[in-house]
Structure 1
Amino acid sequence: MKTDSIFYRIFQSIPTTFFELINQPPQLPSVYQFSSVEVKQLAFRIDGVFLPNAAELPIYFAEVQFQPDKKFYSRLFTEIFNYLDKTELINNWRGVVIYPNRSVDTGDSERYTELLNSQRVTRVYLDELSSIEASSIGIETVKVIRNS
């Protein structure tokens, strides 16, 4: 999807943008490596993965979802858990889903209530970014994408 590749380029070029979206310290990008990964055998593609250089830091899985999709959460957690199963990394994990607005968040969530209501998953709604006080070029770019 076109939007996914735009976010991939932003996160690759300005990784602080991702961490600003989830209200994490601005120095975190220096200890993470960003990539898009494919889980072999099942050919799932995760939009973006921030891999830390220390075992005590979590892996961040980033998914950009600009279209309503009832099966989104099923696929998201399948991709994450397959990735965790296929790798030897011992890090904890966090999932971040980026939506243009709440109306696109139409995935069947009842089965995943505990995960979605935990600190494991953060949902970012771009139309609500005005609540982020410190604007950067990355955040301003994301706002422009949402408005186009």
Structure 2
Amino acid sequence: MKTDSIFYRIFQIDPGILFELLGQSSDRAQGYEFKSVEIKQIAFRLDGVFLPNSYASDQTVWFVEVQFQRDPVFYQRFFSEIYLYLNLHPETVDWQAVVIYPKRSIEPDYPQVFRANLNSDQVHRVYLEDLDEAVDSLGMGLMQLIVADSENTVTQAQALLSSVQTQRQTNPKIAAIMELIETIVVYKFPHLSREEIESMLGLSELKQTKVYQEALDEGRQEGRQEGEQTGEARLVLRQLTRRIGDIPPELQSQIQALSLDQLEALGEALLDFTESSDLVNWLQENQAS
């Protein structure tokens, strides 16, 4: 199974699942964006990084690695990437690291040289085989489905789909989660077509329901809004660069976190800017509004 891409999609759709895995409240994910970060100078890529928005109360950076194959030098690479990132981003306030293993036997033997890291409160190791089956959470259900054996996969997927439908009013990402469930099952049964998978899970009928279609429309609208917001942010950044010169990375991050309405307001206001302090003052006055 292409576990890296599956986990990447899961954490993008619902970042709170990471904190659920750690036994914490999913509310901690508010103000975070999940990204894949490349350290270009040496062509390293961190699987996933939870980066806090500039207005988030907690500015901790979370490094997340999904490790489903045994790699004897995994920790050498993982900690090297983290410290290289910190070297390139000296503004980082604090950091935490999470490694997700399907089971303990996959974790490599680690040399004593890493004991300070692995025994600290900054590094968390999650073993999916230890998840409590009684936990009633869509996020944890997705984690359990990923490591389920073939005999239990269909039953667990059907139970998850049933749970998704009952949470329609409280979970606006129902369509995306249903597609994730389907994708996980497709990876587990590569000899079956997607049509056969849909029939096996009862998805063919489910996708025709009003609930699913409404959720799908909401997701598409959300995607269009995100696309418009990203395009507007790029346009505003180009205009600002022409107006007041290069924009520092920390200010770029603040601008990219603005809503579409705020970006449009900034696009009008920047016409009166003459120096970078004008931008700083505008952001301070408008970000909380």
Flag the 1:28–1:55 CA change in 2: closer, same or farther, 3 A. closer
Say whether the 8 Å CA contact 1:33–1:51 is kept in structure 2.
yes
Q: How much has 1:35 moved relative to structure 2?
A: 0.6
Tell me what 2:70 maps to: 68
Say whether the 8 Å CA contact 1:52–1:58 is kept in structure 2.
yes
Q: How much has 1:88 moved relative to structure 2?
A: 4.0
Q: Which has the larger radius of gyration?
A: 2
Tell me, yes or no, if structure 1 residue 94 matches structure 2 residue 96.
yes
Q: How much has 1:58 moved relative to structure 2?
A: 1.2
Question: Could you report, residue by residue, the CA deviation over 1:37-73 in whole angstroms, capped at 9, with x for unpaired residues?
Answer: 0011111111110011247531100000001111000
CA distance in 2: counterparts of 1:17 and 1:95, whole angstroms: 15
Q: What is the SS of the residue equivalent to 1:27?
A: helix
Moved more, 1-10 or 93-102: 1-10
Moved more, 104-113 or 90-99: 104-113
Moved more, 47-56 or 18-27: 47-56
> Quick check: which one's helix share is greater?
2
Moved more, 133-142 or 36-45: 133-142
The runs of 5 or more residues in structure 2 that have no matched partner are 150-289
Q: Report the number of matched residues.
A: 147
Tell me what 2:10 maps to: 10
Tell me what 1:116 maps to: 118
Q: How much has 1:33 moved relative to structure 2?
A: 1.2
Tell me what 2:37 maps to: 37
Say whether the 8 Å CA contact 1:68–1:107 is kept in structure 2.
no
- Give the TM-score taking structure 2 as reference length: 0.48
CA distance in 1: counterparts of 2:4 and 2:111, whole angstroms: 22
Pairing 1:13-28 to 2, within 5 Å after superposition? 13-28=13-28
Tell me what 2:132 maps to: 130
Q: Which has the higher contact order (CA 8 A, sep 6+)?
A: 1
Q: How much has 1:15 moved relative to structure 2?
A: 1.0
- Aligned CA RMSD, in angstroms, stands at 1.8
Say whether the 8 Å CA contact 1:56–1:92 is kept in structure 2.
no
Q: Kindly provide the amino acid, as one letter, of the partner of residue 144 in structure 2.
A: K
Moved more, 12-21 or 86-95: 86-95
- Give the TM-score taking structure 1 as reference length: 0.91
Identity %: 48
CA distance in 2: counterparts of 1:128 and 1:30, whole angstroms: 26
Q: Kindly provide the amino acid, as one letter, of the partner of residue 116 in structure 1.
A: L
The runs of 5 or more residues in structure 1 that have no matched partner are none
Tell me what 1:143 maps to: 144
CA distance in 1: counterparts of 2:109 and 2:8, whole angstroms: 22
Flag the 1:143–1:84 CA change in 2: closer, same or farther, 3 A. same
